Structure 1
Amino acid sequence: MDGGRRLLRPVKEAFDGFQNQAPVYAGIAQIAPAPAFLADYGRRGSVRRATTPGDRLSRIFAAQGVGLFAAAALFAGVGLYGSWLGGEYSAFVAVEGSVPDYFARVAGVGIRTVTISGAHALTQQEIIAVTGIGPKNSLPFLDVQKVRARLKALPLVKDASISKLYPGRVVIDIEERKPFALWQRDGVVKIVAVDGTPIDTYADQRFAALPLVVGTGANAQLGEYTALLDAAGDLRPRIKAGILVAQRRWTLQMDNQVEVALPEVDAAAALARLAQFQREDHVIDKDILSIDLRVPGRMFVRLTENAAAARAAALAPKSKTKGART
Structure 2
Amino acid sequence: MRSLVVLPDDRPCAPCAPTLPPARPKGYCRPLPPARKRPKSVLWRRVRQTVAVLLVATLTGGGAYVWLRTDLPAQVRLAAQDMIGDAGATVDMRLGEVNVQGRVHAPLEALADAVGVERGDPILSLDLDGIRHRVESIGWVKQATIWRQLPDTLHIEIVEREAFARWQIGGRVYLIDAEGKVLEEGDRADFHNLFLLVGEGASDKAHDLLDMLQTEPVLASRVVNAIRVRNRRWDVEFDNGIVARLPEEGAAAAWHRLIELERSYGLLRRDIKVVDLRLDDRLIVQLNPDAEPPPPTTNTPRKAGKRT
Length-normalised TM-score, structure 1: 0.52
Matched residues in 1 for 2:134 and 2:226: separation?
35
**Within 5 A, what are the aligned runs for 1:94-109?**
none
Matched residues in 1 for 2:290 and 2:193: separation?
32
1:109 CA displacement: 5.9
In the alignment of these two chains, the number of paired residues is 208
- Whichever structure has more helix as a proportion of its residues is 1
1:299 pairs with one of 283, 292, 300:
283
Corresponding residue of 1:276: 260
SS at match of 2:167: strand
Write out per-residue CA displacement over residues 180-230 of structure 1, whole angstroms, 9 at most, x where no aligned residue.
433221222222344434332134344444453221112222243123212
Change (3 A) 1:166 1:214: same
Indicate whether 1:248 and 2:232 are aligned.
Answer: yes
Change (3 A) 1:298 1:119: same
SS at match of 2:293: helix
Q: Identity over the aligned pairs, expressed in percent?
A: 29
Alpha-carbon RMSD across the aligned residues, in angstroms, is: 3.6
Corresponding residue of 1:310: 293
Corresponding residue of 2:165: 181
Indicate whether 1:229 and 2:226 are aligned.
Answer: no
Matched residues in 2 for 1:138 and 1:164: separation?
14
Matched residues in 2 for 1:142 and 1:148: separation?
16
1:250 CA displacement: 1.3
SS at match of 1:122: coil
Q: Is the 8 A contact 2:243 2:273 kept in 1?
A: yes
Change (3 A) 1:108 1:252: same
Q: Is the 8 A contact 1:232 1:271 kept in 2?
A: no
Q: Is the 8 A contact 1:180 1:192 kept in 2?
A: yes
Change (3 A) 1:157 1:240: same
SS at match of 1:138: coil
Write out per-residue CA displacement over residues 167-191 of structure 1, whole angstroms, 9 at most, x where no aligned residue.
3422012254554433221222222
Matched residues in 2 for 1:197 and 1:123: separation?
16
1:111 pairs with one of 85, 90, 96:
96
Corresponding residue of 1:290: 274
Matched residues in 2 for 1:245 and 1:159: separation?
34
1:290 CA displacement: 1.6
Indicate whether 1:140 and 2:140 are aligned.
Answer: no
Change (3 A) 1:181 1:305: closer
Corresponding residue of 1:266: 250
Question: Who wins on radius of gyration, i.e. which is larger?
Answer: 1
Write out per-residue CA displacement over residues 115-154 of structure 1, whole angstroms, 9 at most, x where no aligned residue.
32344543779746875778xx236369845865763553
1:219 pairs with one of 199, 203, 207:
203
Length-normalised TM-score, structure 2: 0.54
Q: Is the 8 A contact 2:234 2:246 kept in 1?
A: yes
Q: Is the 8 A contact 2:93 2:123 kept in 1?
A: no
SS at match of 1:295: coil
Corresponding residue of 2:82: none
Opposite residue 138 of structure 1, the aligned amino acid is: G
